[in-house]
A = this chain, B = another copy of it.
Amino acid sequence: MAEAYIGGTGMTPFGAFPDRTGRELFAEAGLAAIEDAGLTSENVDEVFYGNFIGTLSENQGHQGPLAAEALGTTAPSRRVESACASSGLAIRDAVRAVRTGDVDVVVAGGMERMSNMGTARATDGLARAADDLFEVRAGVTFPAAYALLARAYFDAFGGDRTDLAHIAVKNHDNALVNDHAHLQREITVDDVLEAPEIAAPFGLYDACPISDGAAAVVLVSPSYAAEHGLDSGVAITGSGHGGDTMALQDRRSLSKTPATRDAAEEAYDDAGIDPTDVGLAEVHDCFTIAEVLALEGLGLYRYGEAIGAARRGETHRGGSLPVNLSGGLKAKGHPVGATGAAQVVAVRTLLEGTHPRSDAVGDDVTVGLAHNAGGTVASATVHVLEVMP
C-alpha cells in the first residue's frame, strides 16, 4: 500500500562546487522536484531538510527555514540530522507526517557542501559522525573505521581487496552515463589495487569522494495524489529505521550491521514484501566494504556471500540484482546530507524509466530499495519503492 506517492524528484549534479551556497544548491534540487510534480511552492505544506555539517561548512545552523525559503515558501520546516543518513531520516519522518493525515504535500531532501572546506577540514568535519570522546580522540577517521570493518569482515568470512575492487569498478562503470555523477571515469581492477593506500586494506578507489550537492523528493498523500492525478508512478510503500551503538568498541560484531538489518526488516514488513521481491537497490557504499555489509544486512545476501557478488557480476547491470546503478556514493558522489534523498531519486527514476541507466532495469522489476547509513552504521534507514499499478 502506498504510504506516500512520489510526486516529483530533483537533484543537482554532484561534484565540487565551492562557490555555490547551500541554499542555492537546495533551491535547484527542490524547485526541480516541485516542478516535476506539477505543483508550485504554494502547495508545499512542510519541509524536512537533511544536513550534516552546515554549521561548520557555512556557519549556518537553523537551516530548515532557509531550505523552505529556497523553495519560495515559509512553510514549517526542520533540519533532520543523522550524519550520512540525514536525508534518509528526513524522508522517513516526512513519510510519517504524511501518514498522520496532517499534510498532503511535503518536500524531503538534503544538501551538503564540503569542497569549500578543503579535504583536511572536511575529513575532520566528517569525523563528527563518530564518537568524539571514544573514537575520534583515539585517532579514528572514517577511512580508518571502515578499514577496520573490512578487516573484521575478511577475518569472519574471507574475501580480499580484489573482491572490493570489483565493487569500485562496477559503480564507476554505472556512473559513466550519469551526468549528475561526481566521478565519470572508467577504472579497472588493477587501477583500484594499484591506487595509493589510504587505510589498509583500502586504496584511494575504495572510498567515495567528498562532494557537494542537493537532492529532493516531493511526497504526496494518497488522497491528494488521487485527487490530483499523481497516483500513478512510484510510491514509498515501506520505511524502516535502525540504530546501533555509536562507537565500534561497543559492538558485538564488526562484520555485521544490525542497524541495517533492523531497518530492512521494518521496511519489508511495512511494504509486505520479502527481500526476494527487490529488483534493484541503491545502497550506502561510502567505502567498498560498505556495499557488502549493506547487502548482507538487507537480507539480499546471506552473511559472508555478498563479498563476491560484484566479482561474480551478480550486482552489475544485467546481473541478478543490480546494485547502485546510479554509480552509488562511490562514483555518483556523497554530499552527506543529500545522499539518502538522492538514493530515493535514483530508485524512483530507475523504476520509472527516466534514469540514464533505466535501460538496465528489466521490465519485470517493480520494487526498488534505498539504503542510507550514518556513521559506521550507527543509524540506518531503508525505503521500499514500488511502481504502483
Using a CB–CB cutoff of 8 Å, the interface residues on chain A facing chain B are: 21, 46-47, 52-53, 55-56, 58-66, 68-69, 73-83, 89, 93, 96-97, 99-100, 102, 128-133, 136, 241-246, 250, 258-259, 262-263, 374-375, 378-379
A132 proximity list for chain B (CB < 8 A): 58-60
In the assembled complex, which residues on chain B have CB atoms less than 8 Å from the CB atom of A131?
60, 66
| Contact between chains at B62 and A379 (CB < 8 Å) | yes
Q: In the complex, which residues of chain B have a beta carbon less than 8 angstroms from the beta carbon of A242?
A: 76
State the 5 A-B residue pairs at the shortest beta-carbon distance, nearest first. A61-B128, A62-B83, A65-B378, A76-B241, A62-B129
| Pick from B66, B75, B245: contact of A246, CB under 8 Å | B66
Cα–Cα distance between A44 and B183 once the two chains are bound (Å): 42
How long is the Cα–Cα vector from A77 to B92 in the complex, in angstroms?
12
Q: When A65-B378, A83-B61, A131-B66 are in contact, do A243 and B75 touch as well, CB less than 8 Å?
A: yes
Give chain B residues whose Cβ lies under 8 Å from the Cβ of A243. 47, 64-65, 68, 73-77
Contact with A128, one of B60, B74, B246, B258 (Cβ below 8 angstroms): B60
- The A contact surface, by secondary structure, is mixed
Q: Please tell me how many copies of the chain the complex holds.
A: 2
What B residues does A55 contact at CB under 8 A? 53, 55-56, 128
Are B62 and A136 within 8 A (Cβ)? no
B80 touches A379 (CB 8 A): no
CB–CB B136/A77 < 8 A: no
> How close is A138's CB to chain B, nearest CB, in angstroms?
14
Q: How far is the CB of A354 from chain B (nearest CB, A)?
A: 30
> Provided the pairs A97-B96, A132-B58, A132-B60 are in contact, do residues A76 and B379 lie with their beta carbons within 8 angstroms?
yes
Which B residues lie within 8 Å of A46 (CB)?
A: 241
Q: What is the bound-complex CA distance between A52 and B130, given in angstroms?
A: 18
Q: Are A245 and B74 in contact, CB atoms less than 8 angstroms apart?
A: yes
Q: Which residues of B contact A241 (CB under 8 A)?
A: 46, 76
> What are 7 residue pairs bridging A and B, where the CB atoms are less than 8 Å apart in the complex?
A55-B55, A64-B379, A73-B243, A74-B244, A80-B81, A96-B96, A96-B100
Contacts of A61 in B (CB 8 A): 52-53, 81, 83, 128-129
Instruction: Name the contact of A245 in the complex, choosing from B56, B64, B69, B258 (C-beta under 8 A).
Output: B69
* C-alpha gap A53/B68 in the complex (Å): 21
Q: Which residues of B contact A83 (CB under 8 A)?
A: 61-62
Chain B neighbourhood of A244, CB < 8 A: 65, 74
Query: Distance (Å) between the CB of A385 and the closest chain B CB?
Result: 19
Q: A8 to nearest B CB, angstroms?
A: 21
A63 surroundings in chain B (CB, below 8 A): 81
A380, closest chain B residue (CB) = B76
Instruction: Please state if B62 and A375 are interface contacts (CB–CB under 8 Å).
Output: yes
**Shortest Cβ distance from A131 into B: residue:** B66
Other than the known A62-B82, A64-B81, A81-B81, what 6 A-B pairs have Cβ atoms closer than 8 Å?
A59-B128, A61-B128, A65-B243, A65-B244, A69-B246, A74-B259
